[in-house]
Amino acid sequence: MKRKKILFTGGGTGGHVTPNLAISQSIQKVYPEAMFYYVGKKGKAEESMVPKGWKNLFSESRASLHFVSTTSGSIKNPKVLLTLFLGFLQAVILLMRHRPHVIIASGGYVSAPILFAAGLLRKIRFISSKIMLHEANAEVGKMIQMAIRFADIVAYSFPGTKIDKTKKRFVGYPVRESIVQKSLEIKGQSKDAAREKLGIPANAKFILAFGGSQGARTINRGIIEALPILLADPDVHIMHGTGKKLVGAAYDGYQDVQQRLAQKKESLPSDFDKRYTYKDFMDNIGDYYAAADLVVCRGGAGSLVEVCANGIAAVCIPKADLAGDHQAVNARVLERLGAINIIFESKDPLDPASVENINATDFGNLVLSLLNDPEKRAEMGTIASKQYDPTTAQKCAQLVQYLLGDLLQEPELREETSLPEEAILGKGLLSIISMLHKKGADSLTPEQRRLALYKIDIAASQKSFVLPARACRMIGAGKFTERIDIVLNFALNKQKSPFTRRDAFVGLRHLGVINTEVVQTILEGCSDPYFETVNEALYALFSLLKENLVLDRFSHDRSITDESVSNIKAIDSMKSNIIARVKKLCSSSEFDIRMNALGVLSILMDDFPSINELLKQNFFHPNWQVRKKIVECYDILYQRNLVTLKEIQDILKNDFLQTSNGFDMDFLLKSEIKTIFQKESNRKFTDELRSIIFSSQTKKDKETRLITMEKTNSLLTTKEIVDQLLSYTPADFFTHRQESIQSSSMTEEEKEQELSRLLKYQTSHLEISKSK
């Protein structure tokens, strides 16, 4: 058999390197004479991990490690583009020199040069290498997404991963043999042996905490802050992997832990240094897994699968602000199965200096509760172990054999577990906002709201033109009133982008909360230098006032609650100030600012001649949408009893330009005017109809009045009458009517009759609603 040449690429972090090393172990068994090549980036995890993992191959001169120029970032940046082009040329030279039979890539920007060079060289038939990708995370990374077109097979680790069906193969995540328990049956023996080797007491409650090869600031600081809680139990022992500072990395985990521990010593037990140990890297992590009662880790695929492979309970702290929330999505798959607990990172969006963190008290208490509940940990470990397939690396090797034609039949792979799709995690903010507008804020479960708040806080904390703005929109779309402080702050924060300030007012509009602080914020927003911010501020004010003042005070469709009465009084006290500020904007050159200013004034001004004069000035405005707004303003003034329907009809018929712009033969503006007046006529009709139904008249008298109504409204069909009755019967009508009967001065017998009549009407109303 011809000696096979296998090229691996992928790196930057240990999570991209370890699956490649695990797969290579299995490939060595089927191709014992094969040559192995690894292509990565100098100074990254692969530079140290590959020589250790391939120590035997290097000693036999069957392996080599190569580095190419590559970087992350936008290709619009000339420096990034030049670096990638140089890496591409280096990759072309490597591929032409070694001509590998198969290329295995685990993703990450490090693999970009090789994959794109291989894609081109295969297309022009300079090489015939097969390409297999392995996606470690539940959310497909950007590099894998772009490289799928070049691949023959895409192996993946988590159920539910979205990949082209013709190429996807569910194999799981390959784990190195050195860090996996040989079998769960001898786990107790392995644990005792590992503890004896590491010098950990047999009865200790042992925590293994780490944040990956480079460390995790949140875990490092969370562990240090929680030490007083954890070490208060004299049986708790901790091994803490701080991570190793790599070339170019800004964070030095070991130094950070060292400094913070020095500040914390006074609050720790005298024997803390015997029960708490930290180091930058753990070469023999398999021994620590074997000895551990509980693991604290990130949500990287490698860490989670290693936890599953060893059947250990874990507390996961996924890294926030990653593409597709991939660590959080990974962790949620296991949390929903009951294998792990998650603590999400948080960040204060109102503090620019804030960094991701966790609540150390909550974290410490959760860890202690699990340590003190061995049955719960055993259950979590059992569930976790069921998610791991020890044959994953072997299956990957068999797929390589199949690609190379050494297996005639494709290997039989694992059946993918079916899980409900995540509604929040892994989704973009725009997608979530759209879903909330369609389904409503009430469609979210409490757990989904928790995840949504997590995404809001992280997005709002970003130094970005776009993400904080979208966070504001999401706060409004989901009615997240617990985050109103964010939109109020961002609305007036000149350090934020104009798009963020604008969208803060969009969020306020959809939140539906109105009080003096909200109104004052909106008024200040009307002075923003960005015209779209001014417009959205006015639109928010108009919508909130219309919803809370016009409907509450003047419409029979809603009852007046104590809160709305309080709002009315509060806004009334600010009325003169609002009117003075908004009047100045009625002559704005921006038509949308002008129309929303007129809308606000139609709600607040009590002097009809004055507001009518402002409206008249726009009767012939060149933009028909302004004139459409004027029609809406007259409708509001009518509801407020400041003008009669006849007066409005005369004004709009004689003095008002009713045509709309362009060549629309339907004359949308005329149609809008008719609709508004028809709506008012329908309201009156339905009120009268309802009054007849609930009157104490005899059946004959009711029939006589209904016949009269039918003649008067001869243009309405029976279906239209039913439609109107349904449209103008509010959801809480029956509840309020029942309360009104109960609190009335009627006798008990009369109340019983009225309630019986109400129940019959409600039943028929529901039946009609269902039939529609």
DSSP per-residue string spanning 138-192: SSPPHHHHHHGGG-SEEEESSTT----TTTEEE------GGGS-S-GGGHHHHHH
CA distance between the termini of the chain = 73
Q: C-alpha distances in angstroms, 613 versus 51, 563, 751?
A: 83, 34, 51
Q: Please state, in angstroms and rounded to a whole number, the distance separating the CA atoms of residues 472 and 489.
A: 11
List the structure tokens of 332: 């949620």
Task: Tell which residue, 556, 560, 524, has the closest CA to residue 540.
Answer: 524
* Closest alpha carbon to 552 in 564, 563, 567: 564
d(CA 114, CA 46): 15
User: Among the ranges 152-161, 172-181, 246-255, 489-498, which has the highest mean pLDDT value?
Assistant: 489-498
| Digit-coded pLDDT (tens) for 667-692 | 456 666 666 666 666 666 666 766 77
| β-strands 168-170, 153-156 pairing | parallel
**Neighbouring C-alpha atoms within 13 Å toward the C-beta of 118:** 30
- Write the CATH number of the domain with boundaries 178-387: 3.40.50.2000
Domain positions in the chain: 5-175+393-403, 178-387, 429-681, 691-771
Local structure of residue 346 (DSSP, 8 states) = B
**Separation between Cα atoms, residue 528 and residue 433, nearest integer Å:** 25
Instruction: For residue 553, name the pLDDT band (cuts at 50, 70, 90).
Output: very low
CATH superfamily ID and name for 429-681: Leucine-rich Repeat Variant (1.25.10.10)
Kindly report, residue by residue over 67-95, the tens digit of the pLDDT: 999 888 777 788 888 988 999 999 999 99
Q: Comparing 701 with 372, which gets the higher pLDDT?
A: 372
Residue with tokens 């069909």: 717
Q: Are 40 and 50 in contact (CB under 8 A)?
A: yes
Q: Are 179 and 283 within 8 A, CB to CB?
A: no
- 5-175+393-403 belongs to which homologous superfamily? Glycogen Phosphorylase B; (3.40.50.2000)
What is the reported pLDDT for 549?
A: 65
Lowest mean pLDDT among 377-386, 452-461, 522-531, 659-668: 659-668
pLDDT value of residue 72: 82
CA–CA–CA angle 69, 72, 78 (5° rounding): 75
pLDDT in tens, 418-457: 767 788 888 889 999 999 999 988 899 999 999 999 999 9
**Model confidence over 708-764: pLDDT tens digits?**
665 555 445 555 555 555 554 555 556 666 777 777 777 888 778 777 766 766 665
Could you tell me if 504 and 349 are in contact, meaning their C-beta atoms sit under 8 angstroms apart? no
d(CA 719, CA 126): 73
Q: Are 438 and 467 in contact (CB under 8 A)?
A: no
**Phi, psi for 640 (deg, rounded to 5):** -85, 0
Mean pLDDT of 309-328: 89
Q: What is the pTM of this model?
A: 0.75
Residues 6+ apart with CB under 8 A from 149: 119
To 5 degrees, how large is the angle CA 228–CA 292–CA 333?
95
- Mean pLDDT computed over 255-268: 93
How many other C-beta atoms can be found within 10 angstroms of the C-beta atom of residue 456? 24
> 5-175+393-403 and 178-387 share one CATH topology?
yes
pLDDT at 342: 96
DSSP, collapsed to helix, strand or coil, labels residue 125 as coil
Is the pLDDT assigned to residue 110 strictly greater than 80? yes
The three-class DSSP label of residue 295 is strand
Instruction: Give pLDDT, residue 475.
Output: 97
| Percentage of the chain exceeding pLDDT 70 | 83
Mean pLDDT of the chain: 85
CA-angle at 623, arms to 621 and 627, nearest 5° = 60
Judge whether 525 and 498 are in contact, CB under 8 Å.
Answer: no
Task: Name the phi and psi angles at 235, rounded to 5.
Answer: -90, -5
Rounded Cα gap, residues 401 and 30, in angstroms: 8
Using the CB atoms, write b or e for 275-305: b if 16+ within 10 Å.
bbebebbeeebbbbbbbbbbbbbbbbbbbbb
Cα–Cα distance measured from residue 218 to residue 216, given in angstroms and rounded to the nearest whole number:
6
E strand or H helix at 117: helix 112-123
